[in-house]
Structure 1
Amino acid sequence: MFESIKRLFTAETGESHPELDPHVAATTLLVEAALADGIYADCEQDQIRAILSAAFSMSDEKAARVLEQAESLAETAVDHHSFTKVVKACLDKQERVALVEQLWRVALADGEKSPFEDAFIRRITPLLAVGDRERVFARSRAEAHMRPR
């Protein structure tokens, strides 16, 4: 009886995805950043696709599959720990800082600074073992990248 209860709780806490691909976990965080303000705009989705192509060198087909899987996971996620845990374990510090910059790029893609997206990234950054200073610099780089030239 206790074993069945244990299995029930581990399935609900997100530990049912130990095989989660690090790219899918990172992409899920990008989708969650886009969803933080309650609006998942096409420009945010396009930004995520561009990140997948550039940062992870994915083909358009693979990027579409990863994004679809990440969107599905983001819809059903109850917390972010299962995703940040995988990312933290699989990406080195420099790659995690780059991911924080990508989170900012997604959040800024719609041209609006949302306090909800800001709060989401502030919550996620320590879970990725990225410091406040690095988060601020990552935001500055993302803002500079997003400015029209």
Structure 2
Amino acid sequence: MFGDFLKTLLQPQPARLPDTDARLALAALLVRVARADGRYDPEEAERIAKVLMSRYALSPFEAAKLRGEAEQLEAEAPDTVRFTRAIKEAVPFEERIGVLEGLWSVVLADGKRDEGEDALLRLVSNLLGINDRDSALARQRIEARQ
């Protein structure tokens, strides 16, 4: 279903994604992070919907639909390194801290920090071009809001 989209996303020099495709790619990354600990809890799915509603001004129905599409895309997407690097090429730098905050909010949604989730966030933040300090600050901002 997402074969052409993934081919476009994984080209050596992917073009900047149209807004709807960028939303889908970022939503799929949120799902990948939520599944990193081997579970996909209802709290994480709900948090993903909230992040999508907040970031993109979506209705609950639109966010649920996008999350469902993202769950399918994530299952078909390649390894995290290639997938995240492709997103980095498609998303402007100034928007990536917000993306990382959304990822941290999903990781923290179930009230537990898992070593696997932490490791994945370190990898993803690095691949998005965000240093460890800025990632830690993003996590702290999310922890303060919860």
Letter in 1 for 2:139: R
Moved over 4 A (4+): none
Letter in 1 for 2:104: W
Q: Determine the structure 2 residue equivalent to 1:16.
A: 7
Q: For the Cα contact (< 8 Å) 1:22–1:86, is it kept in 2?
A: no
Question: How far has the Cα of 1:123 moved from its partner?
Answer: 0.8
Letter in 1 for 2:91: L
RMSD of Structure 2 on Structure 1 (CA)? 2.1
1:49 aligns with 2:45: no
Larger Rg: 1
Q: Determine the structure 1 residue equivalent to 2:12.
A: none
Q: For the Cα contact (< 8 Å) 1:33–1:106, is it kept in 2?
A: yes
SS of the aligned residue for 1:102 comes to: helix
> In structure 2, do the counterparts of structure 1 residues 78 and 89 end up closer, same or farther at CA, with 3 Å as the change threshold?
closer
The TM-score with structure 1 as length reference comes to 0.80
For structure 2, list consecutive stretches of 5 or more residues without a partner in the other structure. 10-16
Output one character per residue of 1:34-72: Cα deviation in whole Å (capped at 9) or x when no partner.
100011000000000001101111222321221111101
Instruction: State the identity %.
Output: 35
What is the count of residue pairs matched by the alignment? 134
Q: Determine the structure 2 residue equivalent to 1:60.
A: 60
Letter in 2 for 1:75: A
Q: For the Cα contact (< 8 Å) 1:37–1:117, is it kept in 2?
A: yes
For structure 1, list consecutive stretches of 5 or more residues without a partner in the other structure. 1-10
Question: How far has the Cα of 1:145 moved from its partner?
Answer: 1.4
